[in-house]
């Protein structure tokens, strides 16, 4: 079976407002005096929260406390402070016309991600969602995709991952899945080139044709 896996944050949704404000909330609650501006925290969109807070606070900080403080604000309002990128609805509908199942694969906890995709009207366009557990299990994208492949029975050599960060591309490669880098997200051209994505898309409307080409669906 073939399958298409899609990242959520930075690929389908722009979550900058909710994520960065919730990180700032956590840092203030922890007593940090010089809290970074929102624009200085966009690199945190993609990796796991534990990884991001480890960089900001140092590896010896109480990362579980930081994540808990982040979630205080995020679960109340932050998860809804996002926008669906222009063209995503059309992209998903075009991908559905390929006949392949569509699965979201996100490092975000699946309990949050399911609420988010339903809130923003994406849930009806996908066939399933794979996310991390609240304790961070499966937050690593390679581990998450391995889990998704095992659960779906999808053939990695006939499947594809679409994402905006190196974590998506490297996670796909670790599972022998081809990948498309989404340049409208938070990774950028240089990061996605260095990660060696199989293709790069500058706009969601380019994705369906790239999927058809990479998976040989027009043969």
In the chain the domains, ranked by start, together with CATH numbers, are: 4-14+83-214 (3.40.50.1000), 16-80 (1.10.150.240)
**Dihedral (CA of 51, 24, 67, 47) sign:** negative
Q: What is the DSSP string of 75-132?
A: TTTGGGS-EEPTTHHHHHHHHHTTT--EEEEEEEEHHHHHHHHHHTT-GGG-SEEEEE
Tens place of pLDDT for every residue, the chain, 219 residues? 899 999 999 999 999 999 999 999 999 999 998 999 999 999 999 888 889 999 999 878 899 999 999 999 999 999 999 999 999 999 999 999 999 999 999 999 999 999 999 999 999 999 999 998 888 788 889 999 999 999 999 999 999 999 999 999 999 999 999 999 999 999 999 999 999 999 999 999 999 999 999 998 875
**What's the CA angle centered on 169, arms 100 and 15, to 5 degrees?**
85
Q: Which of 7, 14, 140, 164 is catalytic?
A: 7
DSSP letters for 137-202 = TT-SHHHHHHHHHHHHT--GGG-EEEESSHHHHHHHHHTT-EEEEETTSSSHHHHHHHTT-SEEES
The pLDDT score that the predictor gives to residue 138 is 84
Concerning whether 7 is annotated as a catalytic residue, the answer is yes
| Per-residue pLDDT at 169 | 97
pLDDT at 219: 58
Around Cβ 206, how many Cβ atoms within 10 Å? Answer: 17
């Amino acid at each position: 079976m073939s399958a298409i896996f899609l990242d959520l944050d930075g690929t389908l949704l722009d979550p900058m407002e909710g994520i960065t404000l919730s990180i700032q909330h956590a840092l203030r609650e922890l007593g940090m005096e010089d809290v970074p501006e929102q624009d200085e925290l966009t690199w945190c969109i993609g990796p796991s929260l534990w990884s991001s807070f480890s960089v900001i606070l140092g590896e010896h900080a109480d990362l579980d406390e930081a994540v808990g403080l982040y979630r205080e604000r995020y679960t109340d309002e932050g998860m809804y402070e996002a926008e669906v990128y222009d063209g995503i609805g059309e992209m998903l509908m075009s991908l559905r016309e390929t006949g392949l199942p569509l699965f979201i694969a996100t490092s975000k906890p699946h309990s949050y991600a399911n609420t988010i995709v339903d809130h923003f009207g994406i849930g009806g366009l996908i066939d399933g969602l794979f996310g991390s557990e609240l304790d961070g299990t499966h937050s690593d994208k390679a581990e998450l995709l391995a889990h998704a492949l095992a659960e779906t029975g999808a053939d990695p050599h006939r499947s594809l991952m679409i994402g905006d960060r190196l974590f998506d591309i490297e996670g796909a490669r670790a599972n022998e899945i081809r990948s498309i880098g989404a340049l409208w997200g938070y990774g950028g051209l240089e990061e996605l080139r260095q990660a060696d994505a199989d293709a790069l898309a500058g706009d969601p409307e380019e994705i369906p044709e790239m999927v058809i080409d990479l998976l040989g669906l027009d043969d």
